[in-house]
Structure 1
């Protein structure tokens, strides 16, 4: 929907950008209950509201603090005052989508009106702002609030309300191909993001293609490497955090020891990260440095720090130093296997091929979970 951006006017705009770039291309549900025309109407209503708030965050009463962010090397506790602003904005945004999601899921349609009991929002700890109703009304969704319930009707057709309900019900169907972890909190985050992205197909598989486009990669770039790893017994997984605290999306391909991931982080200026999942097996790989192909040797020289005698690995001199000395281009270098760099903010085919070779070596040398 939009081009790649790294600079924004406000923190709220930066957060909403993550939803803008993740918003689905319209694909209707195969449901026979609601015609595609009305699904498209609800799709447009949600998209229009998102774009309006993106252009003017005050419409949702989001904090208007100027844009600030974290960089790759920074931890959240380095700027605690900024993360508070992010969380304040995320709380409002996630409550808005929870309000819509639970209304569609638990509301009932009677006489062309969608009616939801207020107790639903108490049960699911959803705070409703007056601005939510105003945003809906501007798109032709009217409301009546009473002591016990809230009623909605559409200026156009009650079928739009059916499409609202259909979306909530569709994303509540658990999709095993997308998420391995059946943790309730993570499942809700995934459902809520699918709802926010208006994924009538209950699938976010398009997201990785969106990443390719935004990072100017060849279409199908990740599919090629996905097939290579799946053929080796790896499995793919989509993990989502979309709640009062965070908006993060991670597409990963995991093996028994390690793997590779592509992730989006809403509060970092670099936004996209291309990562090896862990540093298991690094010490054993360094100990076999001479047997490695040149591309892996180059990768290790870049990702592993030179030992500068911090003695962290010795725990104050109690243990033997983990440093491994290797020879590269006739130079002897002492490399530290602890916490090598494993996140990158750009990727190309050559680097991806090297990463595939590297995680294969992790599987070979890291089976005993030895660094």
Structure 2
């Protein structure tokens, strides 16, 4: 049974593994070269603008493309490996010969999972670890204050999905989705289209909705400071330089509940010429008057927000210390999905005539 599964699927298996190995080599090579260039950091999307560019551009492009392929490969494997692995035999009725040669349906089903799906999923797990290793030193930089910082958080898309062990679990679940849909529809084309549709809702939508609830975020409470936060160029609470993943930020009341005040009615009215220097004042007096005016406007703005129930500004976030815990939780969820989908696939195999 193992030999039959290998003989029928060795071509897509070897092509898949070869492609993954090439991506691993490209990612690790880029991870070695990029940190060697001073004042150069990598972020997803960095790519050569011209084909003959040299320097860090080429390893940067290699790391971007490796990450992009890692993001797309689970879906592509599900559609073009998971579906054909079973659809090829079911469509041509080749499974009938296998099932009449003293081979149980359970053996027939799991032989293909062991021979085809597990090696590809294992190779994708290695690719995820290689991308995590390469992305680490490649994102290091310096902040404007001269302190060490990072270009992006490992929680950011698409790094969480591709740079860790969860990549292997994504691949396995989509391979099983494709194979199960092939057994349900008995049509390769329909199964491929359904795999694309299901992939967007099960691993993608679910994890994006559920991920922030894997733990209890740290809460940092700040002053209201409404005039500054509602200015023309307000601070972005979601931007960090230490890899922190901010999941929510906003005004809260005394109990910590989110408040959405009507900030437009709190905006101060500016008088024409109020900032100009008066004839009877020095530059120091003008600066002091401007400072007191700004303070007064800020106090009135905050008082207006307080009248609407605002008591502070909370930022909820996770640090990168939680990264591997989140990876383990999401991997466990994907493996649970895999077991459930595999059970459905086995049920469909038992119904094959």
Using the size of structure 2 for normalisation, the TM-score is 0.25
Q: Based on CA coordinates, which of the two structures has the bigger radius of gyration?
A: 2
Higher relative contact order (CA 8 A, sep 6+): 2
Q: Which has the higher strand share?
A: 1
Q: TM-score scaled by structure 1?
A: 0.24
Greater percentage in helix: 2
